[in-house]
Amino acid sequence: MMKFKAVLFLSLAVLMAGCGLLGKGGKAKKASSTTGWEYNNPDNGGFQADGDYNQITGPGLTFIEGGTFTMGRVEQDVMYDWNNMPRRVTVASFYMDETEVSNLDYREFIFWLQRVYPEHPGKAKAALPDTLVWRKELGYNEPYIQNYFRHPAYSDYPVVGVSWLQADAYCKWRTDRVNEQILVDRGVLQHDNTQTGQNVYTTNSYLAGLYEGTEGDNPIEDAAGNARKLKWEDGVLLPNYRLPTEAEWEYAAYGLIGNADGELLTERKLYPWNGSYLRDDSKKDRGQMMANFVRGRGDMMGMAGALNDNADITAPVNSYHPNDYGLYCMAGNVNEWVADVYRPMNQQDVDEFQPFRGNVFTQYRRDGDGNLVRNEYGELIQDTIADYRNFKDGDYSSQIIEGPDWQALQDQLSTEDMYLKSDEAGQFTSLISDNVRVYKGGSWKDRAYWLIPGTRRYLEQDQASNDIGFRCAMTRVGSPQGF
């Protein structure tokens, strides 16, 4: 129901906002305050100016008003990792999925890949969840291998068995499908079920003028009334769906907006809900578990006749009470991938605003004639120009060891070598690399400790598990207060 409302609101907002060129009350800005030239006047060149812009909320998302909070460990570090010391940071406003991505959502992704790339079956195969994550040597989980992802009984359950790379690919695909639908609703394009090969809609290829779709009956016009290509400056298309940063995820999970009186935080939360208890204290649901987790050894759901959390494995994505931001299952059910590369000493290097480790800067590849280059799937190819995943925490200047000086080591070993293998005296071994990603939130097979948003774990980005899923986020542009 919530997703239906979001889609309905999206369609109405697109129709009302038009192409973003109107100001308050539907009035366009008249003239430049710096030159005096009229905007949108074809007689003086027709420079088009937008009016006041309010970002619409994309399908499935809810608005998260940003602010400052203390990020990191709030409980005893029972694992003795010492990898999450408390630090105060500020997170900008953003959007996040109300629920984890479900099996139904992900099956739509697989279906689209199979339909659009019939000649490249490897594209869809690479996106398929690994259902063998359910297999256990001493447990009978074979029915989940066959049923969990595909059977309609589990459609509303969170997708699992997806790696970080697959989750990232889903976010990119979702961006393109949402923006394509916006253009269809706006009348700029028509649905084209013949898309295949190089002629597939992506937001980037459309903005670059490379997508040859079927035009709709309401094209974008310039000041003179001539049809033109839609531009990013028109404010019609939404920013990318993406995985949330660790700071965003943790901030959203706490939902401290419900515990503030002005700028005074009245109660520091341990879990996404108030208090330090795991059971509901309301009159209606008193005694019920607030999340899906393991209460004790061998106790996954309680006694027959009184299944307390009503979930043997995962539960539907909209189960239990949402937090104060309206987000479901930010503790328990499944762990969730976040965008960050894992480092144990993040708190020492963190930026105060929008902390994130994982920046890899790219640029579009061009051929000898300066034309953008696409792959066989119609996607623009990007080349790395700067990689900061390892910045100040893993590079040579930031390591402290005994033995040969760093200049000598730099000539002998790569950064990857330094992390993954070393048997020589004075050097160390670690499983941490630039391809290890953070996941958070606790799951259906975790103890209560991992339900605390400040806890963190990590896994290689190409690996998957039956207790890790994900949800998407989106950047907020403009005012941090939303509407």
Least confident of 12-26, 62-76, 296-310: 12-26
Q: Count CA atoms within 13 Å of residue 297 on its CB side.
A: 0
| For residue 432, pLDDT beyond 90 | no
What mean pLDDT, rounded, does the chain reach?
84
Residue 122 and residue 15: Cα distance in Å, rounded?
A: 38
Tokens of 477: 């542009």
Predicted pLDDT at 482: 63
Dmax over Cα atoms in the chain, in whole Å? 78
Q: Report if pTM > 0.85.
A: yes
Residue 199 three-state SS: strand
Least confident of 99-103, 326-330, 384-388: 384-388
Predicted pLDDT at 405: 53
Residue 249 and residue 232: Cα distance in Å, rounded?
A: 27
207-236 pLDDT tens trace: 998 988 888 898 888 878 888 888 999 999
Q: Which residues pair with 69 in a beta bridge?
A: 89
Predicted pLDDT at 29: 63
- How many other β-carbons are positioned within 10 Å of the β-carbon of residue 375? 10
pLDDT average, residue stretch 107-126: 94
**Contact yes or no for 461/470 (Cβ under 8 A):** no
- Higher pLDDT, residue 321 or 398: 321
236-266 pLDDT tens trace: 999 999 999 999 999 999 999 888 888 888 8
- Range from 80-84, 258-262, 416-420, 448-452 that averages highest in pLDDT: 448-452
Output the DSSP codes for 47-96. Answer: --------PPPPTTEEEE--EEEEES--S--TT-------EEEEE--EEE
353-379 pLDDT tens trace: 999 999 999 999 999 988 999 888 888
Predicted pLDDT at 174: 98
Residue 397 three-state SS: helix
Predicted pLDDT at 435: 92
139-193 pLDDT tens trace: 999 999 999 999 999 999 999 999 999 999 999 999 999 999 999 999 999 999 8
pLDDT average, residue stretch 291-303: 86
Whole-angstrom CA distances from 321 to 45, 336, 449 are 56, 18, 19
- Higher pLDDT, residue 136 or 347: 136
**Contact yes or no for 302/308 (Cβ under 8 A):** yes
- Higher pLDDT, residue 279 or 143: 143
